[in-house]
Chains A and B, each alone.
Chain A
């Protein structure tokens, strides 16, 4: 899932300082699961901002709303009445949600309350790890389920860089070397042969904004193109 981290409070408070009535909009999916932007966190942030505003002698009021997701039109529509009553919206959704909210309500300033950090997994309560960079050309079948693009700081594609020590990465001795993990995994599952073919340089198509249509709906959107 998408993992996000709340921005430093000072940054949020400053961005919101110019507005009298601010709606703190939470999202009930990814950011709620990573304990950053759900109903609870939205309420806490609104309370903090209210306290800060009082202490800073700013006349501000903070409302709280939380929808299922901010990346779907229908859910964003639910906010219409509340957005109308506020001067700005502070969204705690991921970057996609913040933007979609801003598109839906172009006349209201939309502020970001979180930094979207990565696509990752949840190890245990309160701790998440990155696993995917959405490069659009998944090579996990070849590398035994370990991604060198996400987990190798250098993005090596054909084996370790040589700086690893005791299976730990040169850049951070606490981090496992991704290629060591790949090797071990392939060895464990009898697939060391995967290492033989060269993985060629990647097409960094991920830098272009993506648009994806499901094959079953292609006809629908080509007709409306």
Chain B
């Protein structure tokens, strides 16, 4: 580690009453002991003047980091960071601590130093000692973008990227750009055709018709793609990003109906294409007026697009007053522009709309057509009708070629057949691999009017990622120790965003994509990965400081509950709760982690060895993790930790985990209280006395090896 940062401590006096108290003096002593000469007391910090004073003093004394002992009011985004920025300092240099019993109680005299403030200050001083601002470096990135797909979304993306000045390679599965997509309707078809012409003519777009993506290695800003063109030749492309707009192939949504394949059962797209020649259609089925049954949403839920297409098709068939048209839907999907009105219109034109429920519809081949039987709920009877043909909607079907393409892209289709993980943090267009964005059909978006929005989002993301080919990023956050790394590939596999790749055999991280969640560091079997500023050493020091010192005033040595709070969820909820006046359970000590993924088993074991009665881990709910999978891995680790504790003879219930959302201020406090109670019911930790004795003796002995037990 290089030179520790020059740290200053600012203490908010919160009124004379607070400043005169013994607890405040303790804070002062702790601060003086750590950074003697750089401790400043301010009468008030929750106001613009206070923030400006901090900024001014920080600048005058050349501070690189600051610890501000105040209350959550000062964490108001903009207040302190704005003042620091104005003074020409890094807005992230200050760590604001919540040391106040009741925030904003200055005038009412309740700005008191909270119990546990001294431990919190010691913790913060430990963590700021590890603060190591990273330099930014300029990095050249590839600007070529690969767009996969041939439909409206892919063409919109290709055009948008080309217009923004990015060279584009458009890889299409079939030869023709904008192949017929009857479901989208005539307007979309026209738009697609016009886009196809534009894209074909665009000089910045390289067309790879009927191309095959063989491999995609590397990471965002520097992908290496092997592509085989339709002539069989292989090309290598160096890409900044990949936009995947190709959806899974579709099959008839017929599972369970038990009808054999026949020319009387058609897909909706197929039928719409046939409607281009209606006389031919009529001739095919006996020459008389058609009896058509539309079956939408039988096995899997249908999309509004299917409802629209079915209605439009039904309208065209119903133009013939002798035709019989019935539209069967499980749920009428009308959540799209004009769809509700369309279904009403269609009914007015003589199309019968029938709702069926799961299992309530069956079909058999009849002499001159197909007979459909259903439970008619409204009339409470079973009804039956015969049709010349059944037109069925289409939904994604498993397909070997699509699975292969997905694998090459580094993605896995979900249960619904689409490529985007079902997680809030991936919305709107992210995938599990940084730099690969998902659009329209690839992520299950069936409605063309929303494709434009997604393409715009993807363009904005691409701009942010690649800029104009030169990006300025923070470098060196994730350090991999070559001496320890055993190239087990665990980090590469667990990284939620595919930010860990390999260069010359060794793991190397991609700062364009890395969110510093710390999962790689926590999972590495050789402790070879450290995140700068978030090192194992730092957390160990912080946990030690959180344990407090035996014999200090107040409950400093109590060590009842150590709470790990994830910065993206629990820490925010906690701050909201504090601003509303709630207090953490006495004796609880808080350690903030960037993501639950960073939580190392060593940290939890260290907490218990320091004598904490219990450990509570508060993170995002599974599937809501801000880093996509951090809380999932943390969940596995916590389960494993509980069995490790049980093996060692400690009650596994001393480790509690819970999910919380950033808006759940009340819940976060009650989760802490519940955990406190549950742990208290187990009694004090059997390791506590030993830990306290060790700590006391450690203060008076020159050198005590922590791994040796004390005799007697």
Q: Mark B518-536, 1 if CB is under 8 A from A, else 0.
A: 0000011111000000000
A44 contacts B602, C-beta separation under 8 Å = yes
Known: A32-B526, A38-B525, A40-B524. A51 touches B602 (CB 8 A): no
Q: Mark B689-709, 1 if CB is under 8 A from A, else 0.
A: 010000000000000010111
B486 contacts A48, C-beta separation under 8 Å = no
Main secondary structure of the interface of B (DSSP, over half): loop
Contact of A56 among B649, B690, B707, B711 (CB under 8 A): B649
B648 contacts A28, C-beta separation under 8 Å = no
A46 contacts B707, C-beta separation under 8 Å = yes
Question: Is B363's beta carbon under 8 Å from chain A?
Answer: no
Question: Is B605's beta carbon under 8 Å from chain A?
Answer: yes
Contact of B605 among A33, A39, A47 (CB under 8 A): A47
B649 contacts A38, C-beta separation under 8 Å = no
Q: How far does the alpha carbon of A21 sit from the alpha carbon of B489 in the complex, in Å? A: 34
Contact of A54 among B602, B686, B711 (CB under 8 A): B686
Nearest CB of chain B from residue A78's CB, rounded to whole Å = 12
Q: Mark A118-159, 1 if CB is under 8 A from B, else 0.
A: 000010110000000000000000000000000000000000
Interface pairs (14), CB distance under 8 Å: A33-B487, A35-B490, A39-B525, A40-B527, A43-B602, A44-B602, A44-B605, A47-B605, A48-B648, A52-B647, A54-B709, A59-B711, A66-B526, A125-B490
A43 contacts B527, C-beta separation under 8 Å = yes
Specify which chain B residues have a CB less than 8 angstroms from the CB of A28 in the assembled complex: 484, 486, 526
Binding site for A on B (CB under 8 A): 484, 486-490, 493-494, 523-527, 601-602, 605-606, 608-609, 644-645, 647-650, 686-687, 690, 705, 707-709, 711
Nearest CB of chain A from residue B559's CB, rounded to whole Å = 15
Q: How far does the alpha carbon of A63 sit from the alpha carbon of B707 in the complex, in Å? A: 6
Q: Mark A19-42, 1 if CB is under 8 A from B, else 0.
A: 001000000110011010011110
Question: Is A50's beta carbon under 8 Å from chain B?
Answer: yes
Specify which chain A residues have a CB less than 8 angstroms from the CB of B707 in the assembled complex: 46, 50, 61-64
Specify which chain B residues have a CB less than 8 angstroms from the CB of A55 in the assembled complex: 648-650, 686-687
B647 contacts A48, C-beta separation under 8 Å = yes
Known: A32-B525, A55-B686. A9 touches B648 (CB 8 A): yes
A29, A38, A49, A122, most chain B CB atoms within 10 A? A38
Q: What is the chain B residue whose CB lies nearest that of A47? A: B605
Specify which chain B residues have a CB less than 8 angstroms from the CB of A51 in the assembled complex: 605, 608-609, 645, 648-650, 687
Q: How far does the alpha carbon of A194 sit from the alpha carbon of B606 in the complex, in Å? A: 58
Specify which chain A residues have a CB less than 8 angstroms from the CB of B609 in the assembled complex: 47, 50-51
Specify which chain B residues have a CB less than 8 angstroms from the CB of A9 in the assembled complex: 647-648
Specify which chain A residues have a CB less than 8 angstroms from the CB of B705 in the assembled complex: 61
Question: Is A116's beta carbon under 8 Å from chain B?
Answer: no
Q: How far does the alpha carbon of A10 sit from the alpha carbon of B648 in the complex, in Å? A: 8
Q: How far does the alpha carbon of A28 sit from the alpha carbon of B528 in the complex, in Å? A: 11
Question: Is A60's beta carbon under 8 Å from chain B?
Answer: yes
- Given contacts A40-B527, A50-B609, 20 further A-B pairs with CB under 8 A are A10-B647, A28-B486, A33-B486, A33-B525, A38-B486, A38-B525, A38-B527, A39-B484, A40-B525, A43-B602, A47-B605, A48-B648, A51-B645, A51-B649, A51-B650, A52-B648, A52-B649, A54-B690, A61-B708, A62-B707
Q: How far does the alpha carbon of A110 sit from the alpha carbon of B686 in the complex, in Å? A: 30
Tell me the chain A residues, 155-183 only, with Cβ under 8 Å from chain B.
Answer: none
Nearest CB of chain B from residue A125's CB, rounded to whole Å = 5
Q: How far does the alpha carbon of A53 sit from the alpha carbon of B525 in the complex, in Å? A: 24
Q: What is the chain A residue whose CB lies nearest that of B649? A: A55
Q: How far does the alpha carbon of A10 sit from the alpha carbon of B523 in the complex, in Å? A: 25
Specify which chain A residues have a CB less than 8 angstroms from the CB of B686 in the assembled complex: 54-55
B709 contacts A61, C-beta separation under 8 Å = yes
Contact of A32 among B488, B601, B602 (CB under 8 A): B488
Specify which chain B residues have a CB less than 8 angstroms from the CB of A59 in the assembled complex: 709, 711
Q: How far does the alpha carbon of A53 sit from the alpha carbon of B527 in the complex, in Å? A: 25
Specify which chain A residues have a CB less than 8 angstroms from the CB of B489 in the assembled complex: 122
Nearest CB of chain B from residue A71's CB, rounded to whole Å = 14
Specify which chain A residues have a CB less than 8 angstroms from the CB of B487 in the assembled complex: 33
Q: How far does the alpha carbon of A137 sit from the alpha carbon of B385 in the complex, in Å? A: 70
Nearest CB of chain B from residue A87's CB, rounded to whole Å = 13
Q: How far does the alpha carbon of A9 sit from the alpha carbon of B605 in the complex, in Å? A: 16
Specify which chain B residues have a CB less than 8 angstroms from the CB of A48 in the assembled complex: 605, 644, 647-648
B493 contacts A124, C-beta separation under 8 Å = yes
B605 contacts A40, C-beta separation under 8 Å = no
Q: How far does the alpha carbon of A146 sit from the alpha carbon of B686 in the complex, in Å? A: 53
Contact of A39 among B493, B526, B649 (CB under 8 A): B526
Nearest CB of chain B from residue A175's CB, rounded to whole Å = 24
Nearest CB of chain B from residue A113's CB, rounded to whole Å = 13
Known: A39-B525, A53-B709. A33 touches B602 (CB 8 A): no
Q: What is the chain A residue whose CB lies nearest that of B491? A: A125
Specify which chain A residues have a CB less than 8 angstroms from the CB of B606 in the assembled complex: 47
Specify which chain A residues have a CB less than 8 angstroms from the CB of B711 in the assembled complex: 59
Q: How far does the alpha carbon of A56 sit from the alpha carbon of B609 in the complex, in Å? A: 14
B525 contacts A41, C-beta separation under 8 Å = yes
Specify which chain B residues have a CB less than 8 angstroms from the CB of A64 in the assembled complex: 707
